[in-house]
Structure 1
Amino acid sequence: MTPDDLTLTPTGLRFAGRRIPCTIGRGGITDAKREGDGATPRGVHRVSGVLYRPDRIVPPVSWAVPIGPRDIWSDDPTDPEYNHMTRSPSTFGHERLRRADPLYDLVILTDWNWPDAEPGRGSAIFLHRWRRPGYPTEGCVAMAPADLNWVARRLTLDTRLIV
């Protein structure tokens, strides 16, 4: 571990000398991640990017990518673009990145099953804001908006999420 690592512990996410309350997937932590299981995959995952809603927030880092109105994330194992950001319209299953709620106003991407995605091994393992404290995710790591912003401003492309 390095000081740049985000480390998930039983008491929260440790990063840059702070402990940040967070939630994980409703399926707990798993060594055998599968699409739709609601679990957070165990392992060392590199931060691979940051997405943000330019109509709602300023970019937290210079390398953040704005989320556009047609941006989606494929979660359909039959899609050739599985576990990648793509654009609508799409006939494949996906998550809209530009949501009406603020859940994905700021998204930290990880390299779980990316860039060479194995179909069905799980997709869209992000760090994002939580719905409310203690409310589980579909496999992501979620935290309070202020904590997410604080983390995002201190990230580098060498940062790893250790689960």
Structure 2
Amino acid sequence: MKIHRALRILAAGVIAFGGTIDSGRAQGIPGTVRQLLVSVAPGWDSSQGVLRLYERPDGSAPWRPVGDGKIPVLYGRNGLAWGLGILPVPSGLSKKEKDGRAPAGCFAIGTVYGYAGKLPKGSDFRYRQVSEWDAWPDDPQNPYYNQHVVIDPKQGIPDWFQKQKMRHGDPAYAWLVEIRHNSGPIRPGAGSAIFMHIRRGANRPSAGCTTMEEDNLVQVIRWLRTAMNPHYVLLPRKEYERFQTSWGLPDFP
């Protein structure tokens, strides 16, 4: 699975960083994926679960766990719903904008965004420092829905910018690991701005992201490698068992 990122300079003074994913979806995890972040929830309505990291040297090798522990994570306050990732998923409850559910499925990891000038020491991944003009629109009527955009204030500031900007001092967003849900083609209203980020508390679920303690998130960021094409799998336990063989997923004790 290849991600083609495009840069468009638009007349309204907005730079949009869009992306498309090859329309032919694979039936299992592609062989080019050598890092896998796996999170399993107890059920569809669960807002808590655990995350484990896996690696393999090539597409024909078995997955091996990285580290010896599970990372506690939080999901959407209303649980999970099927998302739009790289693998086909069954019909059923689907992720919608502002439904309070995290998207389930298999997703490419896009870019890491953050307030800091550079990634944590030892990191080797795509990174953008979020400026005061970065935004990620979540309004389905916005032409840049679910895209990273950068405003050029010299050409005018759109009315929607203040509510959609990415940098507003929120410590929970100091680090954002992009989960490429609904990224190509983008379906308005199918959910936007899905990331891994710092949790707001041990028992405070998100609006649809996967959250964790800051130290654990930094650990994940340091582990990510662009060359290993990392992907994220999030599923309820029963669905994980259902798709483990066909998707080529690792054992998740």
> Could you tell me how far 1:123 is from its partner in structure 2?
0.1
Aligned to 1:30: 81
Give RMSD over aligned pairs: 1.9
Quote the sequence identity (%).
29
> Could you tell me how far 1:90 is from its partner in structure 2?
2.8
8 A contact 1:84–1:115 mirrored in 2: no
- CA–CA separation in structure 1 for the residues paired with 2:145 and 2:225: 25
Instruction: Give the count of matched residue pairs.
Output: 161
> Could you tell me how far 1:3 is from its partner in structure 2?
6.6
Structure 1 outlier segments of 4+, above 2 Å:
60-63, 87-96
Q: What letter matches 2:79 in structure 1?
A: G
Residue of 117, 120, 124 corresponding to 2:189 = 120
The structure with the largest helix share of the pair is 2
Q: Does the alignment pair 1:20 with 2:71?
A: yes
Larger Rg: 2
- CA–CA separation in structure 2 for the residues paired with 1:20 and 1:116: 31
> Could you tell me how far 1:99 is from its partner in structure 2?
2.3
Identify if the C-alpha distance between structure 1 residues 116 and 91 changes in structure 2 by more than 3 Å, giving closer, same or farther: farther
8 A contact 1:44–1:162 mirrored in 2: yes
- Normalised TM-score (structure 2): 0.59
Unaligned runs of 5+ in 2: 1-28, 42-48, 54-65, 83-93, 152-156, 235-253
- Normalised TM-score (structure 1): 0.90
Aligned to 1:46: 108
- CA–CA separation in structure 2 for the residues paired with 1:115 and 1:152: 24
Q: Does the alignment pair 1:92 with 2:152?
A: no
User: Map of 1:1-163 to 2, 5 A cutoff?
Assistant: 4-10=35-41, 11-15=49-53, 16-17=66-67, 18-31=69-82, 32-54=94-116, 58-60=118-120, 61-62=123-124, 63-88=126-151, 89-92=157-160, 94-157=163-226, 158-163=229-234
96-105 vs 136-145, greater mean Cα deviation: 96-105
The Cα offsets for residues 38-77 of structure 1, whole Å up to 9 and x where unpaired, read as: 100110011011111126xx41334211100111111011
- CA–CA separation in structure 2 for the residues paired with 1:121 and 1:138: 14
